């Protein structure tokens, strides 16, 4: 689809001349001024249309993108989604054309792992003379109705202007004074935009994982040979069209426009004609609190020299929100990089063994987990020092950045999603999807997860392969998910390692200390539940009742089903050992998944609420009625030749269909994940993550929650 960006106004740009400010606006009888910002979303204005960085903030492109992607007044994200498809044929990211061609540069620089100066200008030079936005103004009568006759003299035009026509203006973000006269009447008004700076931090639920800005495009699969190849057809690159080097806004972190954090920011921008939103997105797939959010993140899917994200998310936000130089450690500290500081005792608040929080202990990362959140700690000396050579000795580092308070642009909102990776949610899902028995010890070691569910949620057969695997793990250094949630004893001088309540507490302390946000400015979403079949009766901030935990959907046990939505898992299993494994989620398994994860949600809600964090508990129930077993294209397309009734061609796959209540699922199944992002490194990073419908449901709840308040606390 070719997307045409058109100027809705006269092509001339009119610079808004500033007049002395008035204490209050003046309106003469019979005439007044109305106005609106026509590009209210800063990432659109920070795009450049040429590879050399020219034409940054082009009015036609910036206004056209917001005209195309902005949401209408009172419109839900689902309604916006449906309207976009009706107007354009399919849902697309506003950044797809940039990533496919590319047309120019996005607002994010993936090579430097930072937002571009064109976006940061709205933060670092918020009150600057050259920090402009685009708006339109028009004259109204004393009843607020548009004037339809006569000529108006504006202080921003070089000649009289028809009163019936809007005037396109380029105005300073800090605000400006406007004057209009018609005959003997005059009106003077001060136009003051509301500038919201929103920071997005978190894990794959916050990135938009499973919803790449450039999804896969498949070739036909309606042949017998495709059916004969089975799931392996979907692992062979020649069956889908070549993709560009980048498929997300940030390919490393799988950060997408379709994230609920991004959609909420866009919806807030669309809601008020006088509001301009600068959205800075730092969330990263796979991030844990101590592995990505406050310490550099390890990523197993990157090449060896790129295994660490350059900046912890909090540090990335501090360095970009700081309008001047960062605070430096004294020279006497004796360390190379003085921008990094140790965690303070105020942030720790008597939390001991906090370095044990860093990464879930598992075989692949045990050597990398000893962070003390300070420069030159064991993590830095043993691991990061060797990584820095790839980045020119600039990053990554252990420790926390700090900005002098007077120079920090405190965000108005900090959107947050955290905790799922800390307890190994992907491992828990893997535990229940794979067969519980019949595997040799070698197969179990290769296939089963490193972190098992807590004992109450494990397979009840104590002689099963998976139970034996978990018992072996428990005898070593690997905690189970319940240990990670509630804390565990490890022996020694400080024998207790705290659970998720301590992780969240320390994390909230760091956010308040480093970003200066009040607890009420931290807007934290509860993880939604894609398993239940019935609406809940309990308060959304409370744990589910036993009856609510039991109301889940489950597939038949021990059935090898070529039509299963989870067959995609088989693409990552060697066929010689996994050909006959049943891949499904039974009702009992679904109850155990739900029970384990609800334990985390209870700790999250309790800890956040106690600290005064703005906890949006209602997102817990956002997906009820949109279960993973619902909707079209559950099976792989070539399964039709084996009896499936639905579809033949992989090329018919629509990654972003509009789904109404009761019409389909709000999460990606394993099959969905393979279809939308086929690559051996990414094909199975998206199961059980929201699709666009799911992110829209979350965004609507968060928006309604914020709209019910009086705005961000000071």
Read off the pLDDT of residues 521-571 as tens digits, 9 standing for 90 and up: 999 999 999 999 998 888 999 999 999 999 999 988 878 888 889 999 988
Residue that has been written with the tokens 């139970």 in this structure = 467
Across residues 362-379, what is the average pLDDT? 69
pLDDT at 628 over 60: yes
CA distance 248 to 261: 15
CA distance 354 to 496: 10
CA distance 598 to 666: 19
Indicate the helix (H) or strand (E) that contains 548: helix 546-550
Is residue 180 very low, low, confident or very high in pLDDT (cuts 50, 70, 90)? Answer: very high
User: Would you state the structure tokens that stand for residue 682, as one six-digit string?
Assistant: 């990414």
Is residue 711 very low, low, confident or very high in pLDDT (cuts 50, 70, 90)? Answer: confident
Is residue 27 very low, low, confident or very high in pLDDT (cuts 50, 70, 90)? Answer: very low
Residues near 122 by beta carbon (within 8 Å), at least 6 away in sequence: 42, 46, 131, 173, 195, 197, 276, 278
Q: 158: number of CA atoms within 13 Å, CB side?
A: 4
Indicate the helix (H) or strand (E) that contains 139: strand 132-140
Q: By C-alpha distance, which of 605, 558, 603 is closest to 583? A: 558
Q: Averaging pLDDT over each range in 111-125, 242-256, 448-462, which range is the top one?
A: 111-125
Q: Output the pLDDT for position 676.
A: 95
Residue that has been written with the tokens 């969330």 in this structure = 283
Q: Averaging pLDDT over each range in 220-224, 268-272, 432-436, which range is the top one?
A: 268-272
Burial of 475 (0-12, 13-18, 19+ CB in 10 A): exposed
Q: Output the pLDDT for position 362.
A: 45
| DSSP assignment letter at 408 | B
Q: What are the residue boundaries of the structural domains of the chain, listed by start?
A: 26-192, 221-424+483-714
Is residue 359 very low, low, confident or very high in pLDDT (cuts 50, 70, 90)? Answer: low
Given a contact cutoff of 8 angstroms between Cβ atoms, the answer to whether 451 and 360 are in contact is yes
Q: Output the pLDDT for position 23.
A: 36
Are β-strands 151-154 and 114-115 bridged in parallel, bridged antiparallel, or unpaired? unpaired
Are β-strands 275-281 and 194-202 bridged in parallel, bridged antiparallel, or unpaired? parallel
Given a contact cutoff of 8 angstroms between Cβ atoms, the answer to whether 217 and 649 are in contact is no
Crossing angle between the packed helical segments 587-611 and 425-433, to the nearest 10 degrees: 170
Largest CA distance in the chain: 93
CA distance 362 to 516: 34
Across residues 491-514, what is the average pLDDT? 89
**36 or 476, higher pLDDT:** 36
pLDDT at 360 over 60: no
CA distance 294 to 506: 10
Beta-bridged to residue 400, according to DSSP, are 341
pTM score, whole prediction:
0.93
Is residue 355 very low, low, confident or very high in pLDDT (cuts 50, 70, 90)? Answer: confident
Beta-bridged to residue 222, according to DSSP, are none
Given a contact cutoff of 8 angstroms between Cβ atoms, the answer to whether 584 and 561 are in contact is yes
Are β-strands 132-140 and 496-497 bridged in parallel, bridged antiparallel, or unpaired? unpaired
pLDDT at 51 over 70: no
Across residues 72-87, what is the average pLDDT? 97
Angle in degrees, CA 541, 544, 546, rounded to 5: 160
Q: By C-alpha distance, which of 458, 465, 427 is closest to 443? A: 465
Across residues 35-41, what is the average pLDDT? 97
Given a contact cutoff of 8 angstroms between Cβ atoms, the answer to whether 595 and 428 are in contact is no
User: Which alpha helices (H) appear in 424-545, and where do they start and end?
Assistant: 425-433, 441-447, 465-474, 481-486, 500-515
Residue that has been written with the tokens 């699922």 in this structure = 665
For residues 545-574, b (16+ Cβ closer than 10 Å) or e, as one string?
Answer: eeebbbbbbbbeeeeeebbbbbbbbbbebe
Phi, psi at residue 587, to the nearest 5°? -65, -40
Is residue 348 very low, low, confident or very high in pLDDT (cuts 50, 70, 90)? Answer: very high
Given a contact cutoff of 8 angstroms between Cβ atoms, the answer to whether 257 and 249 are in contact is yes
CA distance 154 to 161: 7
Beta-bridged to residue 191, according to DSSP, are 176
Is residue 2 very low, low, confident or very high in pLDDT (cuts 50, 70, 90)? Answer: very low
Q: Output the pLDDT for position 333.
A: 56
Beta-bridged to residue 615, according to DSSP, are 524
Is residue 299 very low, low, confident or very high in pLDDT (cuts 50, 70, 90)? Answer: confident
């Amino acid at each position: 689809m070719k997307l045409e960006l058109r100027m809705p106004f006269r092509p001339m740009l009119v610079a808004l001349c500033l007049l002395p400010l008035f204490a209050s606006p003046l309106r003469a009888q019979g005439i007044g001024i109305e106005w609106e910002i026509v590009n209210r979303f800063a990432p659109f204005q920070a795009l450049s249309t040429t590879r050399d960085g020219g034409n940054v903030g082009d009015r036609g492109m910036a206004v056209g993108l917001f005209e195309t992607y902005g949401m209408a007044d009172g419109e839900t994200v689902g309604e916006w989604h449906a309207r976009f498809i009706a107007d354009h044929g399919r849902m697309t990211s506003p950044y797809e054309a940039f990533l496919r061609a590319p047309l120019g540069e996005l607002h994010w620089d993936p090579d430097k792992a930072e937002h571009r100066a064109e976006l940061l200008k709205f933060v670092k030079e918020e009150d600057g003379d050259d920090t402009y936005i685009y708006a339109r103004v028009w004259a109204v009568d004393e009843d607020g109705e548009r004037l339809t006759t006569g000529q108006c003299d504006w202080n921003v035009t070089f000649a009289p202007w028809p009163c019936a026509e809007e005037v396109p203006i380029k105005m300073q973000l800090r605000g400006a004074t406007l004057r209009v006269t018609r005959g003997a009447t005059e009106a003077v008004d001060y136009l003051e935009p509301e500038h919201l700076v929103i920071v997005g931090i978190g894990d794959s639920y916050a990135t938009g994982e499973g919803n790449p800005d450039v999804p896969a495009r498949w070739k036909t699969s309606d042949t017998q040979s495709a059916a004969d190849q089975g799931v392996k057809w979907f692992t062979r690159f020649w069956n889908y069209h070549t993709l560009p080097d980048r498929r997300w806004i940030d390919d490393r972190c799988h950060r997408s426009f379709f994230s609920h954090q991004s959609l909420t920011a866009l919806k807030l921008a669309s809601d008020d004609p006088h509001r301009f939103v600068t959205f800075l997105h730092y969330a990263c797939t796979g991030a844990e609190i101590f592995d990505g959010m406050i310490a550099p993140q390890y990523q197993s899917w990157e090449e060896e020299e790129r295994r660490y994200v350059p900046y912890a998310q909090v540090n990335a936000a501090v360095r970009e929100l700081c309008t001047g130089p960062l605070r430096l450690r004294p020279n006497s500290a004796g360390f190379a990089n003085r921008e990094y500081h140790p965690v303070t005792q105020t942030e720790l608040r008597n939390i001991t063994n906090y370095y044990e929080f860093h990464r879930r202990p598992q075989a692949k990362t045990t050597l990398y987990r000893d962070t003390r959140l300070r420069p030159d700690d064991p993590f830095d000396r043993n691991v990061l020092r060797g990584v820095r050579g790839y980045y020119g000795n600039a990053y990554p580092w252990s420790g926390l950045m700090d900005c002098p308070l007077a120079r920090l642009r405190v965000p108005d909102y900090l959107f947050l999603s955290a905790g799922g990776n800390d307890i190994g949610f992907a491992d828990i899902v893997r535990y229940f999807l794979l067969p519980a028995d019949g595997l040799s010890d070698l197969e179990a070691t290769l296939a089963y997860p490193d972190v098992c569910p807590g004992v109450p949620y494990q397979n009840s057969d104590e002689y099963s392969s998976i139970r034996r695997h978990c018992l072996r793990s428990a005898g070593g250094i690997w905690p189970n998910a319940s240990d990670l949630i509630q804390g565990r004893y490890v022996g020694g001088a400080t024998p207790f390692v705290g659970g998720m309540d301590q992780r969240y507490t320390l994390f909230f302390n760091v956010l308040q200390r480093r970003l200066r946000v009040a607890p009420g400015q931290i807007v934290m979403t509860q993880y939604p539940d894609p398993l239940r079949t019935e609406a809940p009766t309990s308060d959304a901030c409370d744990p589910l009742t036993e009856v609510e935990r039991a109301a889940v959907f489950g597939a038949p046990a021990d059935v090898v089903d070529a039509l299963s939505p989870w067959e995609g898992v088989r693409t990552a299993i060697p066929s010689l050992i996994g050909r006959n494994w049943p891949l499904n989620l039974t009702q009992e398994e679904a109850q155990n998944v739900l029970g384990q994860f609800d334990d985390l949600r209870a700790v999250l809600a309790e800890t956040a609420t106690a600290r005064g964090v703005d906890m949006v508990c209602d997102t817990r129930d956002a997906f009820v009625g949109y279960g993973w077993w619902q909707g079209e294209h559950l099976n792989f397309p070539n399964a039709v030749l084996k009896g499936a009734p639905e579809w033949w061609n992989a090329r018919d796959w629509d990654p972003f269909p509009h789904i109404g209540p009761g019409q389909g699922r709000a999460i990606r199944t394993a099959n969905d994940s393979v279809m939308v992002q086929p690559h051996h490194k990414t094909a199975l990073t998206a199961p059980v993550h929201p699709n666009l419908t799911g992110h829209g449901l979350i965004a609507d709840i968060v928006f309604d929650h914020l709209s019910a308040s009086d705005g961000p606390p000071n």
